[in-house]
Amino acid sequence: MDQNKPELPNDEDNPFLTIGNLLDEEISVAVLADTIEKHGICTYDEYGRFVFANEKAKTYALDLLKEHHEWKCIPPQERSYEDPRSPMDRWGCHGDNAYGHFGWTK
């Protein structure tokens, strides 16, 4: 078995838990960022292959978490002056979008 390729996710035996799913479950941004930095994260490359994220992709995933964290730090009354939706809600957290492209299989 190739150790450089993650196990392909599927809906039954090996589901893909995205950072969007985990943020929905109220897993903290800090825990997710630590996990990415220490253990990496999976994503899909430009050819649609399921791979371990390279440094550029990991940085992008960390930037998504940073954006979400910064939004959470804005008091709700101040959010109403701009778009009050979270970055995840604006981008979407599942499927074909930024928060749904990064995660881990079980």
State pTM to two decimals: 0.78
Distance CA 103, CA 106 (A): 10
Output helix, strand, coil percentages for the chain, rounded to the nearest 5: 45, 10, 45
Q: Quote the mean pLDDT of the chain.
A: 81
Q: Is the pLDDT of residue 39 over 90?
A: yes
Q: What is the pLDDT of residue 99?
A: 83
Distance CA 17, CA 77 (A): 31
| Region 16-33 average pLDDT | 92
